[in-house]
A and B are shown apart, each in its own frame.
Chain A
Amino acid sequence: GQQVMQIPQYQHVQEGEDFTTYCNSSTTLSNIQWYKQRPGGHPVFLIQLVKSGEVKKQKRLTFQFGEAKKNSSLHITATQTTDVGTYFCAGPTSGTYKYIFGTGTRLKVLA
């Protein structure tokens, strides 16, 4: 079945350093979503990418969808303690609204 993997699994950074998480799907995706889950919280939608090669920015966050629409990345510039949490990508099974969530990357920011 469809699999969505993320690397790294964990990342510890000093506050102010940059952070990147990568998402790879075993199948081509029509779109990809990113979510953030704070410790003890629930996933919160960040963004959706639809077009091949698409790049979107939200303040210090940059999201990219690969040309082949099988991979994506999230880059955070100058991390802050508020960025702590687990970042998930999610992609739909072909032809359905069934989204498969990636394994997640847990980010810890050291002040």
Chain B
Amino acid sequence: DAGVIQSPRHEVTEMGQEVTLRCKPISGHDYLFWYRQTMMRGLELLIYFNNNVPIDDSGMPEDRFSAKMPNASFSTLKIQPSEPRDSAVYFCASSLSYGGAGYEQYFGPGTRLTVT
């Protein structure tokens, strides 16, 4: 398996522009997570899906952020309009649930977003 795929790997945009980050989870995984990583705030969970349904979006910073998962093999995270404080590395991760005891998350390579 190719692992979790994210695109683009790097994105530089100007303040006010719309940004769309894409993720393809590992085939067969039923959970998908979007994280944001910054030096100041560390690794933060933004939102996660189970079987394409958003379960918890309490980590989404504000209404400028939205995420969708139209099918089991694709998810997007959109920021509109973007602001300089959105600059961070955004990771997508997927996992396969089992037995209620927990699961390991497989992270994608991340998208480094710079908003100028």
Contact = CB atoms under 8 A, between A and B. Distances in A.
A25 to B, nearest CB: 14
Interface of A: 30-31, 33, 35, 41-45, 48, 50, 88, 92, 96-101, 103-104
Interface string B72-107: 000000000000000000010101010001111111
Interface in B29-48: 31, 35, 42-45, 48
Interface residues of B, number: 24
Contact of B97 (A30, A45, A97): A97
A46 B38 CA distance: 22
B12 interface: no
Given A98-B48, A101-B43, A30 B102 contact: yes
B56 interface: yes
For the complex of A and B, list the 7 residue pairs with the smallest distance between their C-beta atoms, beginning with the closest.
A45-B104, A42-B107, A101-B43, A31-B102, A43-B107, A98-B56, A42-B110
A41 B49 CA distance: 24
B105 A99 contact: yes
A50 B101 contact: yes
